[in-house]
Every structure is written in C-alpha cells, then in structure tokens.
Amino acid sequence: MSAEWIDFRAVKSRVGMEALLEAYGIALGRRVGVHLRGGCPLPQHSSRESRESFLVHTEKNVWICHSQSCVATRGGQAGGNVLDFVAAMEQCSIAEAAWRLGARYGVGGPIRARGEGTGFKKNEGGAGAWVCLPGGHQNPPLSFVLRPVDCQHAYLRQRGIAHQTAEYFQVGFYSGAGLMQRRIVMPIHNRQGQLVAYAGRVIDGSEPRYKFPPGFRKSGVVFNLHRALRSGLRQAIVVEGFFDCMRLHQVGFPQVVALMGAWLSPVQQELLRAHFAELVLMLDGDETGRRATERMVGQLGSEIRLRVAEVPAGQQPDQLAAMEIRRLVQAATTATPHGPGSD
C-alpha cells in the first residue's frame, strides 16, 4: 500500500461543519445567526442532562461541547475543527481523520506518492500541514449506523423485496435527519465487510432518485461482494442495481453482486477477476444495458469465463418472476471478446 500526502489546511478550508453534520445524519435543534445548537452527537458524551451543550460556529467552522463530563472523556479538549470532530466521532487520529475527509470529499491538495517528491520544505504551511498517510483511494469505513431503519416499509414490498431479505441486507426506510432523510437506505460494504457508505433511494418520484455521500467512490466497491464471497461459489452473477441484487439473492442466488450502475471500473474489474472463475452478466434489458454488456465482455477479456443472461427488452432483473430469473441464469450463453456483439 503506497504512502500518500494530504494537506490538513486544504481539508479544513473545504469541508464545513454544517455539511459534515448533515453527512452524519445529525440535525441540531436550534439556529441562532451563525450558531447551531443542540444535543452533543459525540459517542463520548454520556450526560443526559446536557441537551443543548453542543455549539457550532458556521463561519469560523468550529465546534464546542460545554458538558464537563464530555470534555473530560476527551482529555480536556472542549472542541475544535472538522478534523477534531471526525477524530472524536470515529475514534481515530487527526491524521486518519484528515485522510478520511479527503477521501470522502475529494479534497486535500495535491496527493502524491511519497517517493515522487513534493518539493515541500519543513517550515512551509506551518507544523503538521502535511502528513504521510496510507493509500487514499479507498472508501474509509464508517463508525456509525443509521437508525431507525424500517425494513417492512411498503415501498420494499412494492419492489418485490421480502421482509427477511430487507433485514438480511439491512435495507429500509430511514426516518431520521440528514442527507438520507426519508429515503430507502442501502448499506454499502467493502470486500472485507466493513460499512463504507449508504445509498439513499427516493420513494416519492423526486430527483435525484439515488443519493450517495460526498466523496464516496462508487467505482471502488462491488455491492454485496463480501456476502457473495461467503457463499464459497466461484461464480458471480453481475447486475446493475441494488434491487436487482436483492431480488436475485431472494430467489436463490447468494453469489449475486451489483455494480451500482452500468459501468465496470478498473477496480471493480480486478475485484471480480481476483475472486471468481466465472461471471454471468445480467444487466438491464434496455439499450444502455445491452451496450454495457458488450463493453464489459471486451473489458474482462479471456482471463475469466463469461456468460450473458439476456433480460427481456425494457425490463430489469428485479421486475422478473422468480421462475423467469432462474431460467435466464440457467440459459445464459457463453461470451468472449470475439463473440456476438463485439467488433
């Protein structure tokens, strides 16, 4: 894993406390001018009496908690900046907090491998302005879980997702505050099974249909890969969307994974090649899905066995009956870069 540099000052200037609170799903109760006030969201806070001890100055981009017990648990630190907040929330170092924010929000100045040289002099920018950190291209794990989530919401039933399936994936309607408010939330995990993000699907027809947190790199994750690996199967069925994935799992295919779109990134490509001997491509039955299938057959090359399950025109896998899904997977035809549909 290569070491990298990230600029503390750039992160602090680009990431606002108000946006950060929203990303964590935290809504403070009161706004007075440039101040936000409410209950302290930090995991170290234990006082039940201090209901408005947490204060944010939105212009100065700083925070403070006036609860003495909360301050004591943090070694006497009453407040700080966005880096201090993430370090307290996720119980990590300031350096790790800077890297996580840089990865999530795509900021942090010019990021270079340590061996490339930066021309940085020790006294430029003040002490601690730059730090050497491990690989900054991954999505850092989250240290919180959204609650409450209703796994029995009517929208899930309308999409053909059974209660047991929703509970298994921990998918449901989020009634809390923040970025994912009043959306169906889908937890996204990395290959190791660590929670790295939530996606939120709107249920009222408004736009955007899906929301991802700022800085999240969708291209670096294959949805449901960690569960597919637990199946022990050397075959994976590749679909586009979250609901396609849940539906195929529900009808008996635990090895299903989703790209969260119709594009296979180089990182996703390597993840699939590394863990499976055969892939069954089952993308949507529209023009986008057809073209994406042809493109992926070319991308994946001859290093892995490929089959294509053709979804009927104008349909998606999650819209099909269980018997039809099984039939299409079983009837999937072998594909090669020089096969049907390639140049």
In the chain, where are the structural domains located? 3-109, 146-216, 220-343
Q: pLDDT of 164-222, one tens digit each?
A: 999 999 999 999 888 899 999 999 999 999 999 999 999 998 888 999 988 888 889 99
- What topology is assigned to 3-109 in CATH? DNA Primase; Chain A (3.90.580)
Beta-strand runs (E) in the chain:
3-7, 30-32, 35-38, 54-57, 62-65, 79-80, 130-134, 149-150, 172-174, 183-189, 195-201, 210-211, 235-239, 256-258, 278-281, 305-308, 333-335
Backbone angles phi and psi of 29, in degrees to 5: -75, -25
| CATH class of the region 220-343 | alpha beta
> Domain 146-216, what architecture?
Alpha-Beta Complex (3.90)
Tell me what pLDDT residue 112 has. Answer: 34
pLDDT band, residue 302 (cuts 50/70/90):
confident
Q: pLDDT of 29-44, one tens digit each?
A: 788 888 999 888 887 7
Mean pLDDT of 17-33: 83
| Lowest mean pLDDT segment, chosen from 9-23, 97-111, 190-204, 261-275 | 97-111
- 222/229 Cα distance (integer angstroms): 11
| Lowest mean pLDDT segment, chosen from 74-88, 161-175, 292-306 | 74-88
For 322, other C-beta atoms within 10 Å of its C-beta total 13
Token couple for 74: 């943090």
| Lowest mean pLDDT segment, chosen from 167-171, 258-262, 337-341 | 337-341
